[in-house]
Amino acid sequence: MKRESVTATLLSYIARKGMKRISYTEASRVVKSSSSANRALHKLVESSLMEIQPKNIGLKLVTEYVMTEKGMDAARLALRIEQLKKLKSAENDQQNHE
């Protein structure tokens, strides 16, 4: 998967689930690669679409990535683009079968 599509996939997942925050572990599961998730998360932080927020869970300090308002807008846009691609693909499949 190209780096831009990994970031878009992560953003659309966040919008689809209505999430305000995501953990590194969940992001890795979504994009199916820990290194890709790491790159995408840090790109989103650099772009001010997410903020890093440490969180204590028991004795462990876990990093969560919290969406900014700008990030939520970008996530909704990524989800809409994903939906339009699926719709276009379905239309093309239907035309090919006619």
Rounded mean pLDDT, 27-48: 94
Residue-range domains of the chain with CATH: 3-96 (1.10.10.10)
Q: How far is CA 42 from CA 7, 76, 87, 91, in A?
A: 10, 19, 30, 36
> Looking at the predicted structure, is the pLDDT value of residue 98 above 80?
no
Which pair of structure tokens corresponds to residue 97? Answer: 């079968």
At 1, the pLDDT band (50, 70, 90 cuts) reads low
Task: Give the integer Cα–Cα distance in Å for 79 and 15.
Answer: 6
Mean model confidence pLDDT for the chain? 91
Res 91: pLDDT:
84
Contact between 38 and 24 under an 8 Å Cβ cutoff? The reply is yes
Cα–Cα distance for residue pair 41/57, rounded to 1 Å: 21
Provide the percentage of residues in the chain whose pLDDT is more than 70: 96
Distance CA 67, CA 15 (A): 10
| pLDDT higher than threshold 80 for residue 4 | no
